[in-house]
Structure 1
Amino acid sequence: MKFTVDKQEKYTILKLHEEKLDSSVAPQLKSELITLHAEGVKNIILDLSEVKYTDSSGLSALLVGNRIVNESDGIFIMSRLSDHTMKLVKISQLDGVFNILPTVEEAVDAVFMYEIEQELQSDEDDDED
């Protein structure tokens, strides 16, 4: 699987350099997402701009990424989805499950907004104690 990782303080951008997100790539993507999470990455932005085709195993890898990040109070955002991938997500009724934004820049903004909301929530919880 060809990809690049851009680690920032509040988020990491994982960009897939593959045309197909299918059974030949999905296990490696799952593994990379799990590794990033294990390294302490809390917020992941997945740039799918080069992916033209996704199948059910690719969708499964995306769900794994979404689940592990959400379980650790992070945010998993997918950006720049192809029409085909977006159609598959909608057919699978996962458009309400995934955070999907049109650009990486919007995804970065969303991470910062999410972080601010988490801090405010944490402050409110502290005030209640």
Structure 2
Amino acid sequence: MNHLIQKHEQYALINVKENDFGGEFATDLETISRDLFREGFHNLIVDFTPTNTIDSAGISILKKINMLCSRELGLMVLVSDNDDFVDQLIDGKIRDVTILPTVEEGIDAVFMNDLENEFGAESDDFDDEDFGEDGFTKSEQP
């Protein structure tokens, strides 16, 4: 698979440079993604800008990668502004997939996902005994 990988602190960006995505190219992406997971990257942005078609093998691999990202509270973002290609992705029924038209929007989505995970973890730090009878924490009581 002809591609370029850019590693950043919070995500890895994979630029796919193929017109048709499937078969051996899909298998290559799975291998690349697993290597990135081992390195600690749980947020993946896959730029499919030059890609026009995807086959069932490609959809299947994307489902696996998306599941791996989700398990680690990460996010897989697929980038394409090609409406026909996006329709193929939607028809593939990849659960909770994020499809955006630009890499910049994908980066923003990764940062927002990380913030949501951080805030979610903070809100889980409260126990029932931390709340008073009126439902406020002791520091929030009027």
**TM-score where L is the length of structure 1:** 0.91
Runs of 4+ in 1 over 4 A off after TM superposition: none
Larger radius of gyration: 2
- Return 5+ residue gaps in structure 1 as ranges: none
What is the number of equivalent residue pairs in this alignment? 128
Tell me how far 1:102 sits from its aligned partner.
1.1
Superimposed CA distance per residue, residues 18-71 of structure 1 (whole angstroms, 9 cap, x where no aligned partner): 111011311111111111111110111110001111111111111111011111
SS at match of 1:25: helix
Superimposed CA distance per residue, residues 84-120 of structure 1 (whole angstroms, 9 cap, x where no aligned partner): 32222233333x5311111110110111111111111
The equivalent residue for 2:69 is 69
Tell me how far 1:81 sits from its aligned partner.
4.9
SS at match of 2:124: helix
The equivalent residue for 2:45 is 45
* Equivalence map 1:1-129=2 (5 Å): 1-94=1-94, 97-128=96-127
Same amino acid, percent of matched pairs: 30
Tell me how far 1:128 sits from its aligned partner.
2.9
More contact order relative to length (CA 8 Å, sep ≥ 6): 1
Amino acid of the residue matched to residue 122 of structure 2? D
Amino acid of the residue matched to residue 28 of structure 1? D
SS at match of 1:120: helix
**TM-score where L is the length of structure 2:** 0.83
- Return 5+ residue gaps in structure 2 as ranges: 129-142
